[in-house]
Amino acid sequence: MSKSIKFYFDILSPYSYFGFEGITKNKNVWKTSVELKPFLLGAIIKGSENKGMPLTNPLKTKYVMKDLTFSAQYLGVPFRVPKDYVNLMMTTSSVIPQRVLVASKLRDGEAKMENLTKKLGHLFWAYGKPIFTSDQIQEVLRYSQVPNSDELFKLSESSEVKEILKENTKEALDQGCFGAPWTHIVDNSTGNVIQAVFGSDRLPQIAHFVGEEFKN
Ligand SMILES: N[C@@H](CCC(=O)N[C@@H](CS)C(=O)NCC(=O)O)C(=O)O
C-alpha cells in the first residue's frame, strides 16, 4: 500500500520544533511524500478540551523543562528553554507567525515555507528572539531577506490564509488531535488517514510504519 505523511506543527510548540527538524532532515531521502502543515496549537487545545496540558501540572512542568533540553541534546538541535517559559506558553498566541507560514506556502511553495519555518524556529528556540507580534515577525522577515516581505505579511492577514489555517487545524482535530506535533499517515489509494500520531518522539515509529529509515 502506498502511503504519504502529513506533519502538523506550531512554531510555539518546542516539540513541534524538534519534530520539524527531525522530519525535514529525513524526508528528502524518503520515497514517501511528506507535506508540512502549519496549524494552531491553541485551537487544538481548546477544540479537543485538553485540560491536561503539561504546564497545568507542576510535576509535569518540572519534567518537561528537563525533557526539552534532554531531547534537544539527543537530536542535536540548538535549543534554550526561554526565560519565563511557563508564562510564555500560557499567554502567547502563535496565530500571527502561523498565518505567515501559511502565506509563505501559498505564495512561495512548500520548500520556501520549510526554510522560513526553520529560520523562525532557530531564532526563537535557539536565540530567544520573539516572533509572535506583527512588529516582531515583520522585522524578522526583513532581517531574513524574505523577498517582498511586506506583501507576504499582508497576504498572511487575508481571509484565504485565515481559512487555510483553520482548515489545517480542523483536519487534525477531526482525527482526534489534542497536541503538537501531530502526524497523519495516509493511504494514497483511498485518501484515508490510517494512523494519527502525537509527538516528535514517535518519528522513528512513523518512518518504520511507512517503510522508511529514520536517522537522528
Ligand atoms: N513526548 C512528546 C511530547 C509532545 C508535547 O508534549 N507537546 C505539547 C506541545 S509542545 C502538547 O501538545 N501537549 C499536549 C498534551 O501533552 O496533552 C514529544 O516528544 O514530542
pLDDT recorded at residue 180: 98
pLDDT recorded at residue 52: 72
Total domains, the chain: 1
User: What sign does the dihedral 124-130-133-139 (CA atoms) show?
Assistant: negative
Q: What is the pLDDT along the chain (216 residues), one digit of tens a residue?
A: 899 999 999 999 999 999 999 999 999 999 999 999 999 999 999 999 998 776 788 898 899 999 999 999 999 999 999 988 888 988 999 999 999 999 999 999 999 999 999 999 999 999 999 999 999 999 999 998 899 999 999 999 999 999 999 999 999 999 999 999 999 999 999 999 999 999 999 999 999 999 999 998
Q: Which amino acid is at 190?
A: T
Gap from CA of 16 to ligand 1 centroid (Å): 8
Structural contact between residues 74 and 120, judged by C-beta atoms closer than 8 angstroms: no
pLDDT recorded at residue 83: 87
d(CA 102, CA 152): 10
C-alpha cell at 53: 496540558
Q: Which residue numbers are catalytic?
A: 13
Given the cut 0.90, state whether the ipTM is greater than it. Answer: yes
How far is the CA of 130 from the CAs of 98, 121, 191, in angstroms?
14, 10, 38
Task: Assess if residue 82 is contained within a domain.
Answer: yes
Question: Mutate which of 15, 50, 173 to test ligand 1's pocket (most atoms within 8 Å of Cβ)?
Answer: 15
pLDDT recorded at residue 57: 86
Is 199 a pocket residue for ligand 1 (Cβ < 6 Å)? yes
Is 130 a pocket residue for ligand 1 (Cβ < 6 Å)? no
Q: Whose CA is nearest to atom 1 of ligand 1?
A: 199
Which ligand 1 atom lies nearest to the CA of residue 89? 10
Q: Which domain holds residue 121?
A: 3-210
Task: Assess if residue 215 is contained within a domain.
Answer: no
C-alpha cell at 117: 519555518
pTM for the predicted model, two decimal places: 0.97
DSSP string, 3-58: EEEEEEE-TT-HHHHHHHHHHHHHHTT-SS-EEEEE--HHHHHHHTT----GGGSH
**Domain CATH code at residue 153:** 3.40.30.10
Task: Assess if residue 116 is contained within a domain.
Answer: yes
Is 204 a pocket residue for ligand 1 (Cβ < 6 Å)? no
Task: Assess if residue 14 is contained within a domain.
Answer: yes
Task: Assess if residue 35 is contained within a domain.
Answer: yes
pLDDT recorded at residue 54: 66
Is 53 a pocket residue for ligand 1 (Cβ < 6 Å)? yes
Q: Whose CA is nearest to atom 19 of ligand 1?
A: 201
pLDDT recorded at residue 21: 97
pLDDT recorded at residue 154: 98
By C-alpha distance, which of 20, 39, 40, 150 is closest to 92? 40
DSSP string, 79-125: --PPTTHHHHHHH---HHHHHHHHHHHHHH-HHHHHHHHHHHHIIII
pLDDT recorded at residue 184: 98
Gap from CA of 8 to ligand 1 centroid (Å): 13
Is 200 a pocket residue for ligand 1 (Cβ < 6 Å)? yes
d(CA 101, CA 112): 9
Which ligand 1 atom lies nearest to the CA of residue 16? 10
Task: Assess if residue 216 is contained within a domain.
Answer: no
Which ligand 1 atom lies nearest to the CA of residue 71? 19
